[in-house]
Amino acid sequence: MTEPINISRQNVEGKCELKCIYNFEYKNTVGTAINGGSVIFVRPEERSEFPVTYNKDKYRLFQILIYYPSNILYNNRQADAELRVVHLSEKGNRMIVFIPMRVSSETNTASTFVSTVIGQVSSSAPSHGGTVNIGVFNLQDVIPNKPFYACKGANNAECVCFGLLDAIPISSTNLDTLKKVITPFAGSVFIEEPLFYNSSGPNSTTVGDGIYISCNPTGSSEETTEVVYEKDSASSLITFEDLRPYLQFIFTVFVVVIVVYLVGKMFGVVGKKTSSVDKFIE
Which residues, at least 6 apart from 88, have a Cβ–Cβ distance to it below 8 Å? 59, 60, 62, 94, 95
Write down the pLDDT at residue 255. Answer: 76
pTM of the model: 0.73
Higher-scoring residue by pLDDT: 143, 227? 143
Q: Any idea what DSSP says for residue 72?
A: S
What distance lies between CA 52 and its chain's CA centroid?
Answer: 10
Percent of the chain with pLDDT over 90: 61
Do the strands 73-74 and 94-103 form a parallel or antiparallel pair, or are they unpaired?
A: unpaired
Do the Cβ atoms of 137 and 60 come closer than 8 Å? no
Domain extents for the chain?
A: 6-227, 243-281
Q: Please give the Cα distance from 36 to 39 (Å, whole number).
A: 5
Higher-scoring residue by pLDDT: 34, 156? 34
Q: How many CB atoms lie within 10 A of CB 1?
A: 4
Q: Please give the Cα distance from 13 to 16 (Å, whole number).
A: 10
Nearest one of 76, 14, 36 to 184, comparing CA atoms: 36
Q: What is the mean pLDDT of the chain?
A: 82
Q: What does the pLDDT average to over 69-91?
A: 95
Least confident of 159-173, 178-192, 267-281: 267-281
Do the strands 168-170 and 211-214 form a parallel or antiparallel pair, or are they unpaired?
A: unpaired
Do the strands 81-89 and 94-103 form a parallel or antiparallel pair, or are they unpaired?
A: antiparallel
Nearest one of 72, 81, 91 to 7, comparing CA atoms: 72
In 33-192, which ranges are continuous DSSP H helix? 109-124, 172-181
Looking at domain 6-227, its CATH class is alpha beta
Do the Cβ atoms of 27 and 49 come closer than 8 Å? yes
